[in-house]
Structure 1
């Protein structure tokens, strides 16, 4: 072997020896740390707390949250900031269904927006919500209807694609928008609100809808009176009596 070859071989051997010693050192260091943590629980707890703080800091936004984005993410608002008719409807529904007015105010405002876009009276949309779920965004019927407007998620999966998928059924605003879209289709198919409600609940081809359309229309009439500043007593605290089978079906 040449002199240069011996030199390279010697350097490689030295590097390998150094690497082995380094690994030995790291192993010893880890062993000492583990022994120290076992012997000193207070050190372990302090380390865990520091690690948790670091993880939480990593999840926090690095800069100030944009006001517009914060408003878009808000799930509650001030009813007093709504127009008079919407505020009146919010407080009336809050008392009847025992729901906090702050998150309810957002739903009322979104229902009015959806009503403008779809041509459906917003108080009808809110009446459907009340009868269907009692304003419980996590409601689920025995047949699988989910959310505020008790949409059959497995039937209307395609309608949730623009909202991030099927789990959006439990997002109040997403469920509202999908429910309004289905209700609009049902009314157009039936040619009337009452007929559309029967399609919505899946009883279009049945002799009786169990009084569903009548209950919705009665609640709709009450909400229209409230919105027009006519005070109404709260009758029948809580949910208005939506049956477990009241779940949207695909148009017949």
Structure 2
């Protein structure tokens, strides 16, 4: 009898331990499920945070978020004057013109380059067409060449992202600033390098500089 009672006690203890482990494992299993597998429920905030961290590890470029740079009241006045000019001269819809100018100002602050110069490059390269593609494969507003800047393209999420105005202007501005540094601030040579015409006769720098000066006058007058 004593032996039988002992066996019963041990079986009961084993059963309780198993149930306790199961109770701990169920929440863990639930956490392991992706939000898509739990129909009708909100994504688990813990999983969302983990996924967010993984996204950062796999090329999410926080620097590409131009909204991180706040525009001041003086910048807002610049947005108005420059976007009005672009709407009139290049027949660009108001919302698009304002968005492009905002991104140019934000990236000008981040990369220490005049936003009017960024806009001048856009004017010559794509005439403010967000989905422009050249015969040699340059893409977007600033006509960035994917094959020549693979590292930068990878950071923004791939070639298709060059059609996103914010990411295109971010990438193009970085390239422009690097060429300015490479040529010790020589704007003409930097523009030739940007256009892929360094060492040749090209009217590209003259066009950009002329528009650049004109946009600076718009800013001052505005």
- TM-score tier after normalising by the smaller chain length: 0.5 to 0.7
Q: Is contact 1:148-1:172 (8 Å) kept?
A: yes
2:83 is matched with which residue: 70, 82, 90? 90
Query: Are the counterparts in 2 of residues 169 and 175 from structure 1 also a CA contact under 8 Å?
Result: yes
State the alpha-carbon separation in 2 of the partners of residues 138 and 84 from structure 1: 27
**By how many angstroms is 1:172 displaced?**
1.1
> What secondary structure does 1:151 align onto?
coil
**1:107-146 to 2 correspondence within 5 Å?**
107-146=100-139
Report matched runs for 1:12-51 at 5 Å: none
* Structure 2 residue ranges without an equivalent (≥5): 1-38, 44-64, 68-72
Root-mean-square deviation over aligned CA pairs:
2.5
Say if 2:169 is the partner of 1:176. yes
Q: What displacement does 1:222 show?
A: 0.5
8 A Cα contact 1:153 1:166, kept in partner: yes
Measure the CA separation in 2 of the matches of 1:126 and 1:193: 15
Q: Which has more radius of gyration?
A: 1
| Structure 2 residue 198 is matched with structure 1 residue 197 | no
Query: Of 133, 141, 155, which residue of structure 1 is paired with 2:148?
Result: 155
Q: Deviations over 1:164-184 (max 9, x none)?
A: 212101111111111011101
Structure number having the greater helix percentage: 2
Q: What is the TM-score of this pair, normalised by structure 2?
A: 0.64
Map of 1:233 onto structure 2: none
2:147 counterpart SS class: coil
Structure 1 regions of 5+ residues with no counterpart? 1-57, 63-71, 75-79, 231-252
Query: Structure 2: how far apart are the matches of 1:82 and 1:103?
Result: 17
CA distance in 1, matches of 2:75, 2:219: 12
> Is the contact made by 1:137 and 1:172 (CA closer than 8 Å) also made in structure 2?
yes
Inter-partner Cα distance in structure 2 for 1:155 and 1:204: 15
Q: Aligned-pair distance for 1:81?
A: 10
Contact residue 86 and residue 92 of structure 2 kept, 8 A: yes
Alpha-carbon distance in structure 1 between the residues aligned to 2:84 and 2:210: 18
Shift of 1:82: 6.0
Deviation above 3 Å: which 4+ runs of structure 1?
Answer: none
